[in-house]
Amino acid sequence: MNIAICDDEQRYITKVKEDLVALQSYEGEFAFFEFKTGRELILDFTAGKYALIILDIQMKGLNGVETARFLRDIDEKVIIIFLTSYEKFACQGYEVRAFRYILKNQPHSIYMKQLSDAVHEYYRNTRYVIATADGSTKEEKLPTDDIMYIEVFSHKLLIHAKKGNYFTKGTLSEIETQLSDLLFARLDKSSIVNITNIDYIRKNEIILTNGDTLFASRNHIKNIKQCFMDYSRSRWS
């Protein structure tokens, strides 16, 4: 797992590395790459090269947010974390879809949990299901974070994904069990939704990040709202 750390103060780079090493499940799980400026990171960056990028917001030249804009244009999936001493910059992270905003001076237990959450987010995003694209006969690995929602369709499962529709065999209960440790929730008796791809909720309408609107049954809307609220809060807690 490649991790880039960009901070103009070496002591913070060293500290983050040491703290992440403490989270390793095995020796050498993480490979670290150090950068002192946003420009250095941008010149080195290519899509898919890094799993996680930790950026100081206040740096000379390009600041963290400006750097993140360049990175996000190149790689939609890379996990970005902002590390800073000032809480006032937190709202700027939304525009580049930062996973976390971590204060350097917060309690160590909270700080470590946020780093741990980022690592778990990466592994969650590398999960996949085996499915066949609509109009194809070839099975492929579909990343679970690309799934918008899944519904029962003509004795199969129709997967609505970011890049199109897919089909897979099995029942909704079976795939729900397969995805039980991920953020999926029931819409009704015949469909489930990926909480991470919800944009907002209005009454019983679920508006997804791609603009699609789904409707949740009365029996399930309360749970979906709670899951979405918990997920949204976790991004910035």
Token pair, residue 85, equals 């001493």
Per-residue pLDDT of the chain (237 residues; tens, 9 = 90+): 999 999 999 999 999 999 999 999 888 899 999 999 999 999 999 999 999 999 998 888 898 989 999 999 999 889 999 987 766 555 555 567 788 888 888 888 888 988 998 898 888 778 899 999 999 999 999 999 899 999 999 889 999 999 999 999 999 999 999 898 888 999 999 999 999 999 999 999 999 999 999 999 999 999 999 999 988 876 655
Domain 127-236, CATH: 2.40.50.1020
Q: Is 117 exposed, middle or buried (0-12, 13-18, 19+ CB in 10 A)?
A: middle
Token pair, residue 66, equals 């400006």
Token pair, residue 146, equals 């690309």
Torsion angles phi and psi, residue 72, rounded to 5: -65, -30
Partners of 7 in the β-ladder? none
Taken as a whole, the chain contains a residue count of 237
The full set of domain ranges for the chain reads: 2-125, 127-236
The domain made up of 2-125 is a member of CATH 3.40.50.2000: no
Distances in Å between the alpha carbon of 1 and those of 82, 96, 141, 142, 144?
Answer: 19, 22, 20, 20, 19
